[in-house]
Chain A
Amino acid sequence: MSMKNKLSRMKGHLNIEEKPSVQKVNQLPQATDIPFIEKWNEHHTTAYYLDEQYCLIREVRYPIDTIHGNYSFTDFQTIVSLWNESNLEHPLSAKGLNSEDLFFFDTETTGLGAGAGTSIFLLGYAFFSGEEVIVRQHILPQPGSEVPFYHSFLEKINYETLVTYNGKAFDWPQVKTQHTLIKNHVPLLPEFGHFDLYHASRRLWKNKLERVKLANVESEILGFSRQDDIPGYLAPIIYFDFVERQDPEILFGVLKHNELDVLSLITLYIHLSRQILQADGYGEESLEVARWLGYLGEKKQSIAAYEQVIQEGTEEDRLAAMHAIAFQKKREKDFDGACQIWQEVSEKGSSKHRREAALECAKLFEHQYKNYSKACEYVEKAFAELPISMDISSSSVMDLHKRLIRLKKKQVKEHLEKDKQSADNRD
């Protein structure tokens, strides 16, 4: 029995899904004989040759005053100047760079797994050049053309300044894996610097957005909505279909999707930078920005950001900012200032803040003002603010208990001493 016969007999055991068979175009392309090359050319796509192989490169140009979402691309130039003027040290800072240095980068892959067999078939990036924004996309015409694909990419891009959305964890490791497979045929892959906008977005909007996906950020934050977009998860299937039939038409949707992704990264970078630099005064992200700056150790900038929230923010944000400022004051030993704020927060803040503020008041009254009865009051207030669902054996509850017992003892001791004193005085 021939091998193929055997194979089709055993098909049921072979773990292969039945699929409709499709007529396939499967010749080794000659340098002059790229399927549908006219159609490609019509869509701004040209071939890149390297030894007997080729890949395709699509290039689309946008005037710099194009509006994408809530911003125009010219705003990007403004923001790069702002970064250069600012002294803030921040992971997203473009200090020392000019606007033509950044590459807004995204890939499309044949699967989500990180193994060697998941390949990248589209490397797309946007960058500024004179009065234009250029989107360039390197397309893998079929598996096996990786050498011209990566070669063209590596010679054209500056990998020290890639801007991505989750590229640190996803896109770049994939590039590294695929590069390892052909490293003898293409330039070395250097270590690279990276602006990852996903982490920034998560910081600012994780409470606001259910999932901090780029598509959600676009529609909810950046004021950009897509029409007839191809969802990213369909990309692998579409690509394999394209590999068989080679008709560019099949891939246009995915190309457009990737193009919008990289353009949105520009808008997102502008928006994030404006928030971080407080360029637009108070906004709904200001509180998170202030926290982030605090986390990064940018004390002055962080306090300035909190101050702005206190001045202009909603009541809720204002109280949250004051709460944060109070901690700062306490560290600076401005106990009166801190105590004043916390007394207010313990009345008006969110439930969590009321509890924390009450506890902080209790500490101040106990240790700084030695006013144990006042401290007791605040501990009891903190108790009252405990959520009903709180496990009574949890450490925060136990701590409150201990604190209360200690305070009561101190109160008794104080009384006894006072009694003794007055007795002594009477003597």
Chain B
Amino acid sequence: MIGKKSLSELIQELRKNENIINWHEIEPKEPKTKPMPSSVDERIKAALQKRGIGELYSHQYTAYETLQKGENIVAVTPTASGKTLCYNLPVLQSVAEDNSNRALYIFPTKALAQDQKSELNEIIDEMGIDIKSYTYDGDTSPSIRQVVRKAGHIVITNPDMLHSAILPHHTKWVSLFENLKYVVIDELHTYRGVFGSHVANVIRRLRRICKFYGSNPQFICTSATIANPKELAEQLTGAPMRLIDDNGAPSGRKHFVFYNPPIVNQPLNIRKSATVEVNHLAKEFLKNKIQTIVFARSRVRVEIILSHLQELVKNQISSKAIRGYRGGYLPKQRREIERGLRQGEIIGVVSTNALELGVDIGQLQVCVMTGYPGSVASTWQQAGRAGRRHGEALILMVAASTPIDQYIVQNPEYFFDRSPESARINPENLIILVDHLKCATYELPLKENEEFGPLDVKDILEYLVEERVIHQNGDTFYWANQSFPAGNISLRSASQENVVIIDQSETANVKIIGEMDRFSAMTLLHDEAIYLHEGVQYQVEKLDWDHKKAFVRQVDVEYYTDANLAVQLKVLEIDKTKKREKSSIHYGDVSINILPSIFKKIKLSTFENIGSGPIYLPEEELHTSAAWLELQEVDETLGEKILEQLLFGISNVLQHVVPVHVMCDRNDIHVVAQIKAAHTQKPTIFLYDHYPGGIGLAEDVYNRFDQVKEAAKNLIRKCPCKDGCPSCIGTEIEGISAKQRSIEVLDQF
């Protein structure tokens, strides 16, 4: 066998590749350390020493010292910079000082909580101090729950459990709440949108309970890089935060490379599949035994790429050395893969974004992304998987044909110059707030003048009294209903009444695979819809709207479905307005009546319309917040028909651009164009939050509209198609220089 190539050799070769359209280098960084603070307990010092930790990185040191001063902190830490020590050190120290001290760890998922427990228990064992840490989740057996409640120094849980099991039963957790010193919120950046808005309210409830038992815990948050960690942490916890971002962990040189697959169909602007290109690129690294991680967008993609890679390099390395990693693997299997990666026995791993979160797999040399991960923050997190503390690393993003991927790789300055997205939450969303006020009242009677977030909630409480859910006695509100409010409120779903998705592919094994809010269900789960669940295609066989059940069966088809909705939009109230020369931009409350009409079948590879069918569902009503763009003056020469087409095209572009700018799912915000809006008869484009009451996305669009507009113009301008394609304004509009005119229309806003 010929000698293997080194990573630097491969990097040199890659530089010559003609499909590379941007090459960005990140300079190496030296470690910044501080001596272990003298106040740290000797037993902890010794245990850390055993693991080779004799001093702290600067951010770990600052975290520790800031907490000792009694402040709350949010530590922004890239992957593998030793963030767990930022909270484990102060927490263990506090228990070492006083055995009655308690801490609560909140992780977004059960799996991360389990990981943390194992890691924590290893250190505790080496310390030789009797510190008990337990996970408390749905899997905790009833027999040890009692022990956890009474004697657990460190209770590791998730927000859902806190919401529905711990807080409503706080009287069984007296020793935790009376002695709670620290609340750790890990992976802070995952608490955004509806979920984050719910969790912020759960934390409000937590702080009320702590206050009742006379404790006032400090918060320790850790977050991946986002634009607004301090703001998010403060909004989520309602407490002032100290930002800690002096990352002192070292890193080597990194090459961040954008790769655009060659065009294979000029008129339709279709490129070679990203998956195929990824296979070939990854193969080069693997066969030279360079540790590589490949990210794919779905579970299916993971499996496809995995089998290709195993096939491609089967003669060079054993198939055991290339593994898949995604949700659905058993925990034991995942631990084995993580260990294999750390110890270098596994050369390659193909993963979904499951490995974006803080699972410890050590540092790899190469990271290949199949398509743009969807947000700047997420991209940096995936990129963080490659890069050892010494030596070079390569990050390769292979673009797909979608508008967003193309926009990103063709506008590298967009990606590199801008800070990652902000994570937004709106804990004051009325529906979410009302839900949690109910839970709060259930947990402890609520005083009239008691604070629950920045809003004055007295009106809501009075409303709930009128609805006979709570009872007022003097200046206090009491729960007065036989139901258990937390039981009906799920933190993770959008609207309360969800459609359950039932997979009946196997008659012997009918199972629930997910749930969806009913507004989204109308367009995504109607009869005959192709529903994608974690990358697997299902066809909806029957949507039982009355019982909110969708029966699906796994299929393998070359198309997806797109539902047309007859949308009626009524403006209820205008809160803010910006006047422009030829237009105005508004923000306010709208009511939306939605009636699904037909759905289209669209071919995956070409976006061709290959069929359609009717949808029979009742009308739905949604009250939410919206931003809308109104043309005051219309260019008479355009003609109504053409203007309407242009507005549709612009909507299409906005629908792609907006989620990137406000950091949300494509489905969280909807764009609707109307040639004559009902309230003004003027050409208008509405962007509304697809959640009752709104979650702050439309407001964000309103505030940053000029940025969004520039991005939209840029996308249209840089699209290599001649005069419109599905990657930009949708379809080609014959002979009117649609792209140019779209930009002109956008310029009027």
Contacts and interface: CB of A to CB of B under 8 A. Distances in A.
A116 B476 CA distance: 16
Interface string B632-662: 0000000000000000000000000000000
Contacts of B172: 177
B573 interface: yes
A111 B171 contact: no
Contacts of B479: 117, 119, 143
A114 B169 contact: yes
B169 A7 contact: no
Q: Chain A: interface secondary structure?
A: loop
B441 A117 contact: yes
For the side of the interface on A, what is the size category? 35 or more
Nearest to B486: A115
A115 B442 contact: yes
Contacts of A4: 459, 462-463
A119 B488 CA distance: 19
B174 interface: yes
Contacts of B476: 144
B623 interface: yes
A16 B489 CA distance: 12
B471 A13 contact: no
Interface stretch (B405-413, B430-438, B698-706): B430-438
B480 A110 contact: yes
Contact of B431 (A10, A180, A237): A10
B471 A117 contact: no
B141 interface: no
A236 interface: yes
A416 interface: no
Interface string B475-505: 0101111111110110000011000000000
A28 B459 CA distance: 19
B623 A143 contact: no
A15 B441 CA distance: 15
Nearest to A141: B473
B130 interface: no
A14 interface: yes
Specify the main secondary structure of chain B where it touches its partner.
mixed
B473 A116 contact: no
Contacts, number: 123
B589 interface: yes
B83 interface: no
Given A7-B460, A15-B435, A28-B473, A117 B467 contact: no
Contact of A116 (B435, B438, B444, B488): B444
Nearest to B483: A111
Contact of A13 (B474, B482, B486, B495): B495
Contacts of B438: 15
Nearest to B457: A3
Nearest to A11: B467
Given A7-B460, A10-B693, A176-B171, A143 B473 contact: yes
Nearest to B472: A26
B621 A116 contact: no
Contacts of B724: none
Interface string A377-390: 00000000000000
Contacts of A142: 471, 473, 478
B484 A111 contact: yes
B459 A3 contact: yes
Contacts of B21: none
A21 B467 CA distance: 8
Interface in A128-159: 142-145
Nearest to B693: A10
Nearest to B588: A1
Contacts of B496: 13, 15
Contacts of A6: 430, 589, 623
A205 interface: no
A13 B693 contact: yes
Given A10-B623, A28-B473, A144-B473, A15 B692 contact: no
A142 B472 CA distance: 9
B589 A3 contact: no
Nearest to A7: B463
B584 to A, nearest CB: 20
Contacts of B430: 3, 6-7, 10
Greatest chain A CB density within 10 A among B168, B462, B478 is at B478
Nearest to A176: B171
B623 A9 contact: yes
B445 A28 contact: no
Interface in A245-272: none
6 contacts: A6-B589, A9-B591, A15-B438, A142-B473, A143-B480, A144-B476
Q: Which 3 interchain pairs have the tightest Cβ spacing?
A: A117-B442, A144-B473, A143-B478
Interface of B: 168-172, 174, 430-431, 434-435, 438, 441-445, 459-460, 462-464, 466-469, 471-474, 476, 478-486, 488-489, 495-496, 572-573, 589, 591, 621, 623, 692-693
Given A21-B466, A117-B443, 16 more contacts: A1-B572, A1-B573, A3-B463, A7-B459, A9-B591, A10-B692, A13-B693, A14-B431, A19-B468, A112-B482, A115-B169, A115-B443, A143-B479, A176-B171, A181-B444, A240-B482
